[in-house]
Amino acid sequence: MAQQYIQYSVIVPAYRENGNLRPLVTRIFGALRRVDSPVPPEQVEVIIVDDNSRDGSVETVQSLQQEGYNVRIIVRTTERGLSSAVVRGFNEALGDSMLCMDADLQHPPEYVPAMLASLSPHHTFVLGTRYGKGVEMDKNWPLYRRVISSGARMLALPLTTASDPMSGFFGIRKEAFLKAKSLNSQGFKIALDLLIKAHIPAHAIAEVPFSFGVRSEGESKLTGKVMVKYLEQLVELYWYKYSGLLIFFMVVAFIAFVWLMQMWLNSL
Ligand SMILES: Nc1nc2c(ncn2[C@@H]2O[C@H](COP(=O)(O)OP(=O)(O)O[C@H]3O[C@H](CO)[C@@H](O)[C@H](O)[C@@H]3O)[C@@H](O)[C@H]2O)c(=O)[nH]1
Ligand SMILES: [Mg+2]
C-alpha cells in the first residue's frame, strides 16, 4: 500500500556490487532522513538492477528490506549492460522523478536529496556535474580516466550544452523519459542518449555540482569495448541530430546548382 505514495525512484545499475549495496542504501536513506532533506524518505524507492551477479546481492537487499528500507532488486538473466539496466529500471520505476546513480559510491549518496528535488515539470532533467564550483574529483581518480573522460566530453560538445553529460549521475522526469524513442541501450552513456532523444531543451536541465569519488569496492567495468560503443553511439547521435540539417543543405545546394546550370545554358 505504501508504494502508491512513491514519487521518487533511484535506479542503480549493478554488476558484482554486493559489498557496496548496504553502504549505498543506508547512506541514501540516511541523507533523506536529515531534517534539511527537501524530499521525504517515505516517498522514495531504490531499485537495484543487477545482471545475475550471484555474489550475495539478492540476500543483501532482502536483509535491507527486513530492516525497513524501501529497496528492491531486479535480477536480469538474459541481458547485460549498464545502459539497458538503467532503461529497465526507469521502466519499472513508480516515481515520476527518477534518478540514476552508480552502486560503487563514486556518486556520493548525500547528493541524492538535492538531485531528486531539482526535478520538476520545468526542470525535466538533472545532471550531477563534476565541473561545477566548489567541487573536485578525488585526487586518486587515475590520470588516464581523466584523459578519457575529457576526450569523451569534448566529442559530445556539439550535441549538448550540458557541462558533464558523462558523469553517469543524472535524473529525468518520467514524462520526458517516455518521449525518447529508439534509445541506444549499448554501452554506458544513456544520459547523453536521453538528452538528445527526449529533446531536452537547455533551460530544462538543472545541474547539481558533486565531488566525484573513487570506487570503494570491486572493479570498474569500463572496458575498451565500452569505449568503442561510445564512439558508435556518437556517430548515431550526430546523425540523429544533424541529418535533417545536412539533407536540407544538400537539397538547397542541388537546387542552386540546377538554377546556375539553367542560367549558364540560357546565356549560351
Ligand atoms: N546491471 C549492470 N550494471 C553494470 C554493468 N556494467 C557496469 N554496471 C554498473 O554501473 C555502474 C558504473 O560502472 P563502473 O564499472 O563503476 O563504471 P566507471 O568506470 O566508474 O564509470 C562510471 O563513471 C563514469 C564517469 O567517469 C561514467 O561516465 C560512467 O557512465 C559510469 O557512471 C556500477 O554500479 C556498475 O556495477 C552491467 O553490465 N550491468
Ligand atoms: Mg565506478
Integer Cα distance of 123 and 117 in angstroms:
10
pLDDT in tens, 111-153: 999 999 999 999 999 999 998 888 888 888 888 888 888 888 8
Task: Report the separation in Å between the CA atom of 33 and the middle of ligand 1, taken as the mean of its atom positions.
Answer: 27
Count of Cβ atoms closer than 10 Å to residue 64 Cβ: 22
Integer Cα distance of 145 and 212 in angstroms:
12
149: burial class by Cβ within 10 Å (0-12, 13-18, 19+)? middle
Ligand 1 atom with least separation from CA of 222: 19
Ligand 1 pocket check for 44: Cβ under 6 Å: no
Q: Which three cell numbers stand for residue 66?
A: 527486513
Neighbours of ion ligand 2 (CB under 5 A): 104, 106, 215
Q: What is the per-residue pLDDT for 133?
A: 81
DSSP 8-state class, residue 50: E
One of 1.10.3470.10, 1.10.10.200, 3.90.550.10, 3.40.50.1820 is the CATH number of 2-223, namely: 3.90.550.10
Task: Report the separation in Å between the CA atom of 202 and the middle of ligand 1, taken as the mean of its atom positions.
Answer: 26
Q: Average pLDDT of 255-264?
A: 87
pLDDT > 70 in the chain, percent:
99
pLDDT at 169 over 70: yes
Ligand 1 pocket check for 129: Cβ under 6 Å: no
Integer Cα distance of 174 and 9 in angstroms:
10
Q: Return the residue whose CA atom lies nearest to atom 14 of ligand 1.
A: 220
Q: Average pLDDT of 189-217?
A: 92
Ligand 1 atom with least separation from CA of 220: 15
Ligand 1 pocket check for 104: Cβ under 6 Å: yes
Residue 11 sits at the vertex; the CA angle it makes with 96 and 217, to the nearest 5 degrees, is 160
Q: pTM for the full model?
A: 0.89
Ligand 1 atom with least separation from CA of 102: 34
- What Å distances lie between residue 58 and 16, 25, 55, 75, 265, CA to CA? 11, 13, 8, 8, 77
Q: Return the residue whose CA atom lies nearest to atom 25 of ligand 1.
A: 167
